[in-house]
Structure formats: C-alpha cells, structure tokens
Amino acid sequence: MLPNFSYIQPRTVKEAVDALTDDAVVCAGGSDLLGCMREGIITPARMVSLEALDQLKGITKTPEGGLTIGAMTTISDIAQNPLVNSMYPGLAQGARQVASPQLRNQGTIGGNLCQKPRCWYYRGEFDCLRKGGKLCYARHGQHQFHAIFGHDNLCYITHPSDTAPPLVSLNARVLVKGPEKNRTIPVAQLHVLPSFTPLAETVLKPEEIITQVVLPPVSENLKSSYRKVRARRAWDFALAGAALALEMDGDMVLDARVVLSGAAPIPWRSSAVEKTIIGSQLNRQTIAAAAAAVTKNAEPLEKNTYKTYLFQGIIEEELAKITSRDQE
C-alpha cells in the first residue's frame, strides 16, 4: 500500500525546485517511483510532479547541430523519433529495449536515468548497506544478475537504465536546475560508485531536477549501436549489454567509446576494449583481442561468472557487425 503524502503539480521549473524541500521527491512518469514507495524504499512527505511542465517535453535540434531532449520526454518518443534514429541509432536502440510498450509510454528519460536499482534484497525487506544497514546480502546470497565490475566489494547492483550506456557513449550531458545555480553534468559523471557512497545512485542533490539531456553533433563517420542480452524475450533488465560509439575511417577505428550495461553499479566504460581497437583496423584479430580484453579486471562472484562469457560474445558480435555493415 502507498503511504500518505501530499501532491503538487508546479507550472514552472522554478516552482518545482522551490517545492523540493526536506522530504519531497520528484515524480516524472511515476513508473519506478510508485513501486519504490510501495516497497518502502522512498517515503516522501510530498510528491512534486513534473507532469504539467510541457517545457520539459520534446526533442529539438540545437544550434550546434546536436539534439536536446527534455527530461519529461517519454522513452517511446525517443525510440520513435526520426532524428534520434538517424543521428544516434545507439540511443534509439537502447530506448526500444527499455521494459515494455506501456512502460516506455509512461517512463521518461529523466526518470530512466535516475531510477533505483533492482537488487532483490534492496527491493525486498532487507535492511542492506544501500538502505543504510550494515550488510550486503547479495555478496554471499543470490547474485546471479549482479555486478562483475565496480562493486568495490561493497554493493553489487548493476545500473538498470538502457538509455544511460548509449548516452555515455555519445558524450551526452544533462542540464540540472537547483535552488542555487544550474549545472551541466556529463552523463558519464552522473552516476556514482559504491566506493563514493553506497547510499545514492547519482550526484544529484535532493532539490535538483534534470531538465534536459543534450547530445553533441555527430560526424558522418560515427557508428553507434546498443546491444542488450536479457534472460527472457519479454521485458527484462540487461544481464549484459554494450553501447558502442566508434569514429571510423574505412575499417580504421579513429576513436571509440564502449560502455557496458548489466556490468557495474554505473554504466561501465571499458577502456580495455577501447585501447585495443583505437588506432587499429577492425579485423578478425583486433575483434578477438577486444573480446578477450572486455573482461580484463572483472571481479565476478561465484554465481555470475557466466557474465564474462556474455560480454566477450557481445563485443565480438557487435564489432563484427560494424565491419559487415561497412562492406554492404
């Protein structure tokens, strides 16, 4: 059952920020928030809905030639938008693989980036480390779907969003409004590791709101993609996945950003894969070396070593697709 709370629907971003005092929480589509409230993970005194803020909805071109996506734009709108599909196919592919059609119609990009993790102990009645307790129950319990990188032997959640890894690979940033000053944060620096704090998922302060996601212009040579592997064909979170953004000159990789999902508490940039392919021709040898490199420094637990093979297979297949696309 939902606990009691008051509800307001501001008409301006300033009103919304001003209302975010003490025990208030931002509500976008509510598709994650209401579940968290039912589960007792978030217990706000006041809900500040962004629903009436039409200025935070929609996708437009920036003067520089990139795109800006309002934080209240739905995941469905992003998945279907012709500009997103032509300029940033990796983001469109990520959006299409979020949850189910109903959730994509309801969920927004701001909420997708800020959603809470899915660890079953955290969502259940366990007072674990991330809820302010002393123990991680997943460490010696059920951790089949948990992290193999970046857990710092503290908390083993995997970052749940399918739009964040492509956004990191595309060098996107978010615009944030707060009571004092506005700030711009690269999506690559939005999420935090357990070693920073296991009690939060982002660097946002409680009284801050993401207003826009801004994507830089892309060159014709940029190839972006997102691949997600899940346990079932219906809606499910990523067991493993990879967002690629490669600057190519023929079959030569000039630059690369490779970001893994289902891997770590944050979208996990694989510098090992990037180093292997940057400045090299994308041929069978390079691809094999990149696939071997992806799990360098991985720290799987007893029940999730299978993820290392998944990541190797994903990197091999996704890089091979780029070479075969070029030959078409």
Ligand X SMILES: Cc1cc2nc3c(=O)[nH]c(=O)nc-3n(C[C@H](O)[C@H](O)[C@H](O)COP(=O)(O)OP(=O)(O)OC[C@H]3O[C@@H](n4cnc5c(N)ncnc54)[C@H](O)[C@@H]3O)c2cc1C
Which residues of the chain form contacts with ligand SF4 (CB under 6 A)?
119, 121-122, 128-130, 136-138, 146, 155-157, 198
> Considering CB distances under 5 to 8 angstroms, the limit depending on partner class, which of ligand SF4, ligand X, none binds residue 29?
ligand X
Shortest gap between Cβ of 252 and ligand SF4 (angstroms)? 41
User: Which of 16, 19, 20, 27 is in the footprint of ligand X by CB under 6 A?
Assistant: 27
Say which entry of ligand SF4, ligand X, none residue 25 contacts (CB below 5 to 8 A, set by partner kind): ligand X
- Which partner, ligand X, ligand SF4, none, binds residue 218 by CB below 5 to 8 Å per kind? none
- Each residue 115-154 as x (binds ligand X by CB under 6 A) or -, in order, gives x---------------------------------------
Q: How far is the CB of 60 from ligand X (least distance, A)?
A: 17
CB of 200 to ligand SF4, least distance (A): 12
28 lines the binding site for ligand X (CB under 6 A): yes
Q: How far is the CB of 10 from ligand SF4 (least distance, A)?
A: 32
Among 10, 117, 160, 198, binds ligand X (CB under 6 A): 160
User: 3-state SS string over the chain?
Assistant: CCCCCEEECCCCHHHHHHHCCCCEEEECCCCCHHHHHHCCCCCCCEEEECCCCHHHCCEEECCCCCEEEECCCEHHHHHHCHHHHHHCHHHHHHHHCCCCHHHHHHCEHHHHHHCCCCCHHHHCCCCEHHHCCCECCCCCCCCCCCCCCCCCCCCCCCCCCCCHHHHHHCCCEEEEECCCCCEEEEHHHCECCCCCCCCCCECCCCCCEEEEEEECCCCCCEEEEEEEECCCCCCCCCCEEEEEEEEEECCEEEEEEEEEECCCCCCEECHHHHHHHCCCECCHHHHHHHHHHCCCCCCCCCCCCHHHHHHHHHHHHHHHHHHHHHHC
CB of 51 to ligand X, least distance (A): 9
- Locate tokens 């592919």: which residue? 93
Q: Smallest distance from the beta carbon of 54 to ligand X, in angstroms?
A: 14
- List the x/- string, 90-119, binding to ligand X by CB under 6 A: --------xx---x--xxx-xxx-xx----
Q: Which residues bind ligand X (CB under 6 A)?
A: 25-33, 35, 71, 75, 98-99, 103, 106-108, 110-112, 114-115, 160-162, 204, 209-210, 235-237
